[in-house]
Structure 1
Amino acid sequence: MGEKQSDPLKNEGIAIPNMTYYFISGNLPHDYGGLTKSLLLRSKLFGKLSQTPTTFLTFGFDKEFSTKKNQLYENKKVHPKFTRILNMYNDFLSKNTSGRLFSEKTSLKEIKNHNKNRFFAKFSKIFRRQKNNLNFNFYEDGKSICSIDYMNNEKKRFKREEFTRQGLLCRVSYFNIETGRLYCQEFINDNHNVYLDKHYEFIEGQNELQLKSINWYSENGVLKFSDESELRRHWIEVLELETDQPKLFLVDSRRQDKHVFRVKKAASSYYAAIIHSKHYGDNPLHVKPRYRELLSHLYNLDAVFFITEEQKEDFQRIVGEHKTFFYTPHTMDKSLDKKVLKTQSEKNKAVIISRLV
């Protein structure tokens, strides 16, 4: 669905299938571009036409998720009646848990004492010899605490606590004092329970930090996952089985293909992809690496939507014709200004509309 100048929600007589619609994105950015705007508009449009809420799904951990979501509703980018905005960590993992209580968070008294001592520490070495030094990081308002770093006597960090803008502890990271590398993270819900932890390992030969395992302390016991993608697929599987009503999972971002299209599709589920950008590099017959996941799952997709006929034809030259390929162009529901059409053109003058990325 492309953005329209007139209100597309005023269109009447348009019937859409009675389904649950899921529109999928990796995260909810602060300054979102055309792709996210398209997703939000489509979610709003489908919700209005079906008179039931559509769902905008995001996967990534984001301590500012609640703030961003509320801003979208307050700025009327979407309506809560027609669009649910869900995050895997906030709305699934953290709520369906029986995790242990986290009782090691920094107390309000410690925070006040530290702020008081920051002034005196400039004049006295006594305060610099504390057993555990605390380094505070703030949000841009300069008041709300974003994170607290715990330092030992040698000024080496061994722990970081992260907070939401509302002052709730949401994640704790632990670091190896000798190497400074992350080795464990604990995720905390609003009830101060550890609902998930991640364990990391540094691979010397590859010189990189790798996620080793994930433990989710669910209501049904501890569930183990090898990586983030496996965890995301589990959430999709749970959503598939929530009701018997048909469901459409629509993916716009190629980064999310592997998290959705590798899921074993339920009988009531439909999977679809929208192609927004150029799929090839120098050679139209050679697809970019990020499109290979999509191509490998064409047999499992119920629809692939293209915004230009040329791109649809390009895909057909590569993989052959498919009944699941559809041309759905961006549209603008606005009549042309007759005065503009009568304006005399200027020779050798051109206008380019684009953006810098």
Structure 2
Amino acid sequence: MKVKCYIQGMAAISPQQTFDGDISTAPFVHSESNRLVCVEPDYKPYIPANSLRRMTRVLRMGLATALKCLSVSGVSTPGPIVTGTGKGSLQDTEKFIKEIEQYKETALNPTPFIQSTYNSVNGLIALQQNGTDYNNTFVHRGFSFENALVDSMMLLQEGASHTLTGSFEEMTPEHYYIKSRIGQWREAPVGNTHLFDANLPGTISGEGSAFFVLAAAPTQESKAAVTGIKLLYKPASERLSAVLQELGADADLVISGANGDSNYAHYYQLLNTVLPKPTIPFKHLCGEYDTAGSFALWLAASLLHAGNIPAEWFPMVKELPADFKKVVIYNHFFGEQHTVMVVEKV
């Protein structure tokens, strides 16, 4: 899809100090754990105290990120709200399931069930901002955020003035344990700065929320432009090579979704062969999760807007490019959902 859209404002909560938005001055957050946890802000300026105490982490993160994004964009009414999430509120889901067993399906508290639904964040945003427009949540594993982005771009093409587009994801101890049983995470602890030192199976888990106000036309406040996106399900090497060449042949910088997992390293070896360009990873910053592509988009737009790459965030890269105007993001979710996005300087 080659319809353009422009990022008018954005916000992110991640395992890095990204909520303030200044990538040039934010320090790199080191972790020695295989489970990266978000650096959460003070929610009180964004969410009323009586509502805050009833919300779980992912609801707080999603709502606060969306409201911060609207605030920095100067938009009061969100218009269409389109989000993607792979798991929704795991904490609420787990709590409700535990209560079913504990109370033998009687006298259940409905709140965890209501808040465990995937579109709960969208509903909270609409309620707080009096939004009555199109409202949709995509739950498509590694395509969740990218489908939300494609849907938003089509809405803009059809006449919407702007959209609020984002994602939200959390990792609970229980879910981390479940995924460890099928080998998704490294067996031994590995610091995020040493994620790429050894070629071993497994990676580190992550979580986060990122939102963008997208518009069909550029303004002086535009941070970057999304000029291309393609989604591929279990592509053959030839098909993946063709798409990478098509979208990234003239790119100045590649942002790679490499996560240190030897089971899928061949995809990134192919990437380096097809696009032998300056490349930086991003999963040592946010970890692996269904909608990590939204963090990659936030990172690409932030770097393009700032005009430089903070060396502290990428200690594994020997030489960082000083001038770049077109960025290609390549990411996949455990070898199944592959996405290629093109982000350009406005």
Q: Give the TM bin, normalised by the shorter chain.
A: under 0.3
Structure with higher helix content? 2
Instruction: Give the TM-score of the pair, scaled to structure 2.
Output: 0.26
Query: When you count strand as a share of all residues, which structure comes out higher?
Result: 1
Structure number with greater CO (CA < 8 Å, separation at least 6) is: 2
